[in-house]
Amino acid sequence: MGCASKTKEAIVTTKENELVDYFADNGFGNAVAIVQHPAGIYHKGITYVAYQGALEDPYVASYNHTTKEWKGPFKAGISEMGKDPNRKKKIDNHGKPAILIDDAGYIHIAFGGHGGTPDNGENPLGNHHYGKNLHAVSKKPLNISEWETLDNISVFGTYSQFVKMDNGDMYLFYRHGAHRSNWVYQKSTDNGRTFGEPVSFLKHKRQQNIEAEDSWYPWVSKGNGDDIIVAFDYHICRDNKNAQDTRGHIPERHNLYYMVFNTKTCVWKNVKNEPLEMPLTKEMADKKTLVREIAEDWTFQGVTDVDPNGNPQVCILVGPDVGEKRSGPKRIKHFRWDGKRWLKSENKDLPRGNGDLEVKSATEVSIYLEHVTSDDVGEISRWDSFDGGKSFKKSTVFLSRKNSSFVISSLIDNAHPDARIIVAQKEDGTDFRKMYLIGDNGPIQRLKKESEILNKKTNN
């Protein structure tokens, strides 16, 4: 009797303390992406992560690297998207949260927008589509349990990207509407309590020779010192009047560009330090900021980083248009500025997939990559180069799952080695995703009973 009782107690204790690799199971759709960023930030011993949860609402969780304690996820706001069961596109995915911590310790997220709607009024810098760009702030410093939504940014935003400078100034970059809209930033000098009016830096405009408009997809990040760095590609937004093409709007993008914004002088410049007239037009972008013309294949998701000397490296996905399937599989292409010209890596070892870039020096660079292997294993891995991108080799596999695929965030800001990237695992038969926090030692584990958010009767 005594032995049986002890055995039963041991089994219960084991189940009670069961650990899993994921920290939450309520990620929804493409719960994170490289473009909406940062999705995570390391600050004073804690990594904070944000992602899209049920009904496309934003969720925030945290992990204390000293105590090994997880908190959350807590719902940080309510998106206007994801609530209409009659909407043709079930999950919009454009309003995923970006996160920032201000100098007073308050946590900010921007979320929920895909260009706004006519109900929000006239969009002076573009057109409308769906949702409402929102800004939420934690009610207490470094506390993710309670949030308030502030009415101090444009509702027409989408693809929110936060940058904080060394002096505490906050910049929120986004597209001011749907495809045919300017890209803008709003600046705050008071820890996000107020923001200036939107300032355009990429201009949408009508093409004169074809039935289309110029549009853009930039990726914005902090460079060295007072610089903000931007990698971007060009989206030709066609009118879709061609009876031979029944796809409707197509995500056709081309070329790769790079430029820098000096936040101290408020001057935009190209890689040669030549000033640029803002907002930048397609013609001026081609003349002054072109990294590489990519006219035939399609591009997707540029990212950039700079070495200690300020010389940039840029990656972008490149692949063919394959007709009704919209676009073919894409492979990462890498470019490096050597001080005089852009050098293209000829490396062909990098697999197809999406990733982010970390530049340590002119010669040492890493790409954090999601891809699916030839035997249908989803992988999150790091590929290292020690010759400026001429060759890459896979150095570490952080996570692998058979018959699965992943979506990933950009690299976490100021990342702790144990928490560099956020990953959502796609599984057949459900729109919900398991969420992982991945670092040099693989995923950070959590008690299963804490990670299973969907099984809880209440969902904070």
Is 416 catalytic? The answer is: no
Q: Which residue has the tokens 């803008």?
A: 184
Residue for token pair 């699965």: 404
Among 109, 157, 159, 107, CA closest to 132: 157
DSSP one-letter string for 208-252: SSSSEEEEEEEEEEE-STTEEEEEEEEEEEE----TT--S-S---
Length of the chain: 460
Active-site pick, 22, 37, 94, 114 = 94
Distance CA 345, CA 339 (A): 16
Are 108 and 99 spatial neighbours (Cβ–Cβ below 8 Å)?
A: yes
Question: Of the residues 42, 48, 63, 159, which is catalytic?
Answer: 159
Using only the alpha carbons of the chain, give its radius of gyration.
Answer: 22
Instruction: Please provide the DSSP assignment of 179-208 as one string.
Output: SSS-EEEEEESSTTSS-PPPEEEE--EE-S
Q: Is 159 among the catalytic positions?
A: yes
Cα–Cα distances in angstroms (integers) from residue 356 to residues 46, 226, 295, 343, in the given order: 22, 22, 23, 19
Residue 401 φ then ψ, to 5°: -145, 130
Which region, left, alpha or beta, applies to residue 240 given φ > 0 means left and ψ of -120 to 50 means alpha? left
**Euclidean distance between CA atoms 399 and 187, whole angstroms:** 38
Enzyme catalytic residues: 94, 159
